[in-house]
Amino acid sequence: MKARVFVTLKNGVLDPQGKAIGNALHGLGFGAVGDVRQGKVIDIELTERNEDKARASLKDMCEKLLANTVIEKYEIELRP
């Protein structure tokens, strides 16, 4: 089973990198660009075949290491 974990800053936490990207996009003439937030994508291959168990284990990984839940939130996507 394959998993994709998205880690992004929580709403309300200042994201200076996202702001800089937004400014650069405006500089390139993409005037329609509003707020930009940036984050991380982590792809993980799992030997676990049971989806519920995989999800529980990934949640544990996010809480313990992949995300710093003081400032970040995470989303888990599973693919067979």
41 in contact with other proteins (CB under 8 A): no
With respect to other proteins, which residue has the nearer C-beta, 50 or 68? 68
Stretch that binds other proteins, among 12-20, 27-35, 43-51, 54-62 (CB under 8 A): 12-20
> Exposed/middle/buried for 58, CB within 10 Å: 0-12, 13-18, 19+?
buried
With respect to other proteins, which residue has the nearer C-beta, 12 or 80? 12
Give the residue from 78, 8, 17, 63 showing the smallest Cα distance to 41.
8
Q: Note the residues at the interface with other proteins (CB under 8 A).
A: 13-14, 16-17, 20, 65-66, 68, 70-71
